[in-house]
Amino acid sequence: MKVVLALTFCSQLMAQNPIKNIVIVTLDGMRWQEVFNGADPTLLNNNKFTPDIKELSSKFWAETNEIRRAKLFPFLWSTVKQNGRIYGNRNAGNYVNVANRYHISYPGYNEIFSGYPDTAISSNKKIPNPNETVLQFINRQKGYEGKVAAFTSWDVFPYIFNSAQSGVYVNADIDTLKFSTPQFSLLNDIQFLSTKPIGVRTDVLTYMAAREYMKTYKPRVLYIGLDETDDYAHRGEYDHYLESANASDAMLADLWRTIQSIPQYKDKTTLIITCDHGRGDKIKENWRHHEKGIEESGETWIAMMGPGIIPAGEMQGRGQLYQQQIAATIAQLLGLKFRSSHPVAAAIEF
């Protein structure tokens, strides 16, 4: 009975607010531990990872997990929690895992977007993805042609989305922003004249370029790939890792405000937020790393909000989702069924 009611409610929601657009944002290698518990006291109070403990504590420390996580991710733990769903709090028995065995980025993003944890995708090498992604699939559907775009900091995404063949517009690292508005022109100058502390375009410039593209060209599916959290964690800079996480949350809040201010998007856009892999725990400094041999680096999280998502807040109790389910979910939210020449995992059931 409960299921029937939920399904009826869901279809009623979808009928009232037809889902027209999807925006997906990923925070590379963002651990579920900080997403659900906030700043970790051991890492925060270790001078090796946090040179200025007092300063970082003043921003992100509080006695309880609930207050700490809300300091780190204020948008996630207010607007998204109230209006959407947040999966992956293992403390509450709610699990999200990657299905691929490698626990690194290209296999993770391939899994998210193709729905297929292909064992042949085993490295981050710049090799065109042989698997069709859901972005390519959607871009082929009537009404979506040329309306699917990706803006990313990491420069491997043109290969992950096989932009040369897929027709999906991918703007990665400091690809020239060849769009004729004063805003794009300014952003383009800034990205070429800025320092690159993480070796590729900084996340705020990736986000601003994506936002400008959204306002100007109104894509129906937009992907924004943020990267800094992973780079700073690898370096063992816990302060910069938390600050990047907090900045990503601020960008998500700004993105949602932008979405709700444009008639084409307002109340017709679903937001999906996730990551490509987790990281280890604190033993042997494994929080910095992720790889096949570090089991915890296969643990992730997913947040969703908008039409088609029945609000349920922080998901509690038994539950197991896999990253491979996201591709079919993206298609299903738009009323499409993602089929391809490779296997595609089933969508998440709401």
Residues lying near Zn ion in the complex (CB under 5 A) are found at 230
Q: Nearest approach, Cβ of 42 to Zn ion (angstroms)?
A: 21
Q: Nearest approach, Cβ of 133 to Zn ion (angstroms)?
A: 20
Q: Nearest approach, Cβ of 31 to Zn ion (angstroms)?
A: 12
Q: What's the rounded Cα separation, in Å, for the pair 315 and 26?
A: 19
Between 239 and 314, name the residue whose CB sits nearer to Zn ion.
239
Between 113 and 256, name the residue whose CB sits nearer to Zn ion.
113
Between 196 and 342, name the residue whose CB sits nearer to Zn ion.
196
Q: What's the rounded Cα separation, in Å, for the pair 128 and 159?
A: 4
Q: Nearest approach, Cβ of 75 to Zn ion (angstroms)?
A: 24
Q: Measured over all CA atoms, what is the biggest interatomic distance in the chain, rounded to whole angstroms?
A: 60
Q: Nearest approach, Cβ of 48 to Zn ion (angstroms)?
A: 19
Between 294 and 328, name the residue whose CB sits nearer to Zn ion.
294
Contact, 249 vs 41, CB < 8 A? no
Q: What's the rounded Cα separation, in Å, for the pair 21 and 45?
A: 43
Question: Quick count: other Cβ atoms within 10 Å of Cβ 343?
Answer: 12
Retrieve residue 204's tokens: 């705020």
Four-residue CA torsion sign, 30, 34, 39, 42: negative
Q: Which helix or strand (DSSP H or E) is residue 199 part of?
A: none
Q: Nearest approach, Cβ of 104 to Zn ion (angstroms)?
A: 7
Between 207 and 241, name the residue whose CB sits nearer to Zn ion.
241
Q: Give 129's DSSP letter.
A: -
Q: Tell the burial category of 337 from Cβ atoms under 10 Å away from its Cβ (0-12, 13-18, 19+).
A: exposed
Between 111 and 230, name the residue whose CB sits nearer to Zn ion.
230
Q: Which residue is nearest to Zn ion (CB)?
A: 230
Between 132 and 231, name the residue whose CB sits nearer to Zn ion.
231
Q: Nearest approach, Cβ of 108 to Zn ion (angstroms)?
A: 10
Q: Is 223 helix (H, G, I), strand (E, B) or coil?
A: strand
Distance in angstroms between the alpha carbons of the first and the last residue of the chain: 15
